[in-house]
Amino acid sequence: MPKTLTKKRMIINIIISLVVLLIVINICTVTGTRSISLSNVLKGPGLEPGDNIDYEIFSVRISRVLLGVFVGAALACSGAVLQAILKNPLADPYILGISSGAGLGAVIAMLLPGISLSFLGGLPIAAFAFTGAIITVSLVWSIGYFTGRSQVTSLLLAGVVINAFFSAVIMLMTLIVKTEQLRSTMYWLMGNIPEKQESFLLLSCGTFVILGIIILWRISNNLNIITLGEYESKGLGIDTEKTKIVAFSFAAFITAIAVSLSGLIGFVGLIVPHAIRLIFGPDHRQLIPLSAIYGGIFLVISDTIARTAFGQEQLPVGVITAVIGGPFFLILLARYTRKVSLMK
């Protein structure tokens, strides 16, 4: 039997990747502008605030690192799924208007009096962004669904047009905001993982993202076949409509969660699935979990660089993902494409 993905190989790859993720989480949590000692952390919080600074720094960092993992996992996984159902390797989680919808929601929130990035741990902005994302995506889906038979093309077109329109509105709105709000709006639009979240928010978002990824993983074999086209997948016994709706709505849902927590972090959703495909092959049964895991790893590393590279000054993580993601991906592309062409 020639090589294909077996259950055993898939499970081994997933376990190895999870171990790598744990190691990266550990390293990134102890890395920072102020070094902390793990033995101090293990002593616990102490009786009063300020008793154990190391513990406090640790708890801030670990929540930021975990949020990075969830956001990265959601973006990369949703990128892989959208590339499959749109049959378009250039698709990313933002292609169907999620980004501009969330952006518009967030900018509207920031224009409201009394709401800033740090107000209530960013909860109002997150809520606005989430609502904006879900409304836009439903709008794009309905336009795509009701116009014409070739749904993929009309979906993509609807997404592009709505993205362009909302981006113009966002620009217009940033022109009228006050200067101190402008900076935080720009920060949000460039993608930024916030320092502090309510732990209940972190926990519930993490749960939803993981559940979403598991559901997408369960339809991954259908996604393999859907990339061959609608006729082919029906001929192989796939309920194409149902698979598409499940894939689309859960990808949109986890992306909306990610965007509402961290703004528009680019590159992760496009590049991570491609990198995994180049290394491990195109089988979605493995691509989806591995994209999620390495998406988390990639974003946490990028965010660690974003908060440490320039001392106290923090960069938006979206800048780092583009700066290190781009060249890294080009290297992968050059290496593995050559391997494939030699195999021919």
Partner 1 sequence: MNIIEVENLGFDYGQKTILQKVCININKGTFLGIIGPNGAGKTTLLNLLCGLLKPKTGSIQIDSKSIESYHVKELARKIAVVRQEFVPVFDFSVTEIVSMARTPYLGSFAFPTESDRQIIVESLELTDTAQFADRLLGSLSGGERQRVFIARALAQNTPILLLDEPTSFLDMKHQVGIYDLLKNAQFRQYKTIIAVTHDINLAAQYCDEILLLFPDQNYKFGSPKEVLVQEQISKVFGVEVMKGEISEKIFFIPKGNYIKNNK
User: What residues line the site for partner 1 (CB under 8 A)?
Assistant: 1-7, 84, 87-89, 218-222, 224-225, 227-229, 231-232, 234-239, 277, 281-283, 285, 340, 343-344
Instruction: Name the residue nearer to partner 1 (CB basis): 200 or 231.
Output: 231
User: Are residues 222 and 243 in contact, defined by beta-carbon separation less than 8 angstroms?
Assistant: yes
Instruction: Name the residue nearer to partner 1 (CB basis): 312 or 341.
Output: 341
Instruction: Name the residue nearer to partner 1 (CB basis): 2 or 50.
Output: 2
Task: Compute the least distance from the CB of residue 340 to partner 1, in Å.
Answer: 7
Instruction: Name the residue nearer to partner 1 (CB basis): 196 or 242.
Output: 242
Instruction: Name the residue nearer to partner 1 (CB basis): 188 or 217.
Output: 217
Find, among 115, 170, 140, 114, the residue nearest to 255 by Cα: 140
Phi-psi region of 121 (alpha: psi -120 to 50; beta: other; left: phi over 0): left
Instruction: Name the residue nearer to partner 1 (CB basis): 10 or 201.
Output: 10
Task: Compute the least distance from the CB of residue 224 to partner 1, in Å.
Answer: 7
Task: Compute the least distance from the CB of residue 209 to partner 1, in Å.
Answer: 21
Task: Specify the 3-state DSSP secondary structure of 178.
Answer: coil
Question: What are all long-range contacts of 329-335, with beta carbons under 8 Å and residues at least 24 apart?
Answer: 329/271, 329/274, 329/275, 332/275, 332/278, 332/279, 333/274, 333/278
User: Are residues 325 and 273 in contact, defined by beta-carbon separation less than 8 angstroms?
Assistant: no
Task: Compute the least distance from the CB of residue 217 to partner 1, in Å.
Answer: 9
Instruction: Count the neighbouring beta carbons within 10 Å of the beta carbon of residue 304.
Output: 22
Two structure tokens written together for 279: 């290394």
Q: Answer positive or negative: Cα dihedral of 166, 121, 249, 206.
A: positive
Rounded distance, CA 149 to CA 151, Å?
5
If you count them, how many residues does the chain have?
344
Instruction: Name the residue nearer to partner 1 (CB basis): 39 or 341.
Output: 341
* Secondary structure letter of residue 119 according to DSSP: G
Task: Compute the least distance from the CB of residue 25 to partner 1, in Å.
Answer: 28
Task: Compute the least distance from the CB of residue 159 to partner 1, in Å.
Answer: 18
Task: Compute the least distance from the CB of residue 151 to partner 1, in Å.
Answer: 15
Task: Compute the least distance from the CB of residue 83 to partner 1, in Å.
Answer: 8
Instruction: Name the residue nearer to partner 1 (CB basis): 15 or 309.
Output: 15
Task: Name the one residue in this structure whose structure tokens are 């920060």.
Answer: 187
Task: Compute the least distance from the CB of residue 270 to partner 1, in Å.
Answer: 15
Kindly state the helix (H) or strand (E) to which residue 322 belongs, with its residue range.
helix 317-343
Rounded distance, CA 187 to CA 275, Å?
27
Task: Name the one residue in this structure whose structure tokens are 């859907």.
Answer: 226
Instruction: Name the residue nearer to partner 1 (CB basis): 93 or 105.
Output: 93
Rounded distance, CA 221 to CA 186, Å?
40
